[in-house]
Amino acid sequence: MNVQEELKQLLEKQVIPDVEDALDDIFEQVNELKNADEATKEEVQELQDFKADLKDILKDIESGDISDEEAQEIINDIKEAMQGGEA
C-alpha cells in the first residue's frame, strides 16, 4: 500500500468516523439540554471545519495533488495526535 492509500484508509476508516462520532455526541448532549453554550457551539464549528479539511485531503489524494512526503507528514501528525489523546 502506498503512502497516499495508507492516508486515505486512515482518514476514511478511523479519523472521519471519530470526528462524526464526536459531533453526534455533542448534538446528543445539546438535544438533552435543549441549549448549547458558546463553548459547545465553538467546538461543533471546529469539528465541522476539521471534517471539511479531512474531506479536502481525500479529494487531494484522489486527484493526485498530494505527494508521498505530504501524505506521510499528515499520517505522522494524525498518529501523534491520536497518541496524545490516549494519554
| For the chain, domain boundaries | 3-86
What global pTM score does this model have? 0.83
DSSP structural state of residue 66: S
| pLDDT at residue number 87 | 39
Angle between the 16-33 and 38-63 helix axes, to the nearest 10 degrees?
160
Q: Distance between CA 44 and CA 69 in Å, rounded?
A: 31
If phi over 0 gives left and psi between -120 and 50 gives alpha, with beta otherwise, what is residue 64? left
27-40 pLDDT, tens per residue? 888 888 777 788 88
Mean pLDDT of 68-80: 94
CB 72 within 8 A of CB 4: no
> In which band, very low, low, confident or very high, does the pLDDT at 22 lie, cut at 50, 70 and 90?
very high
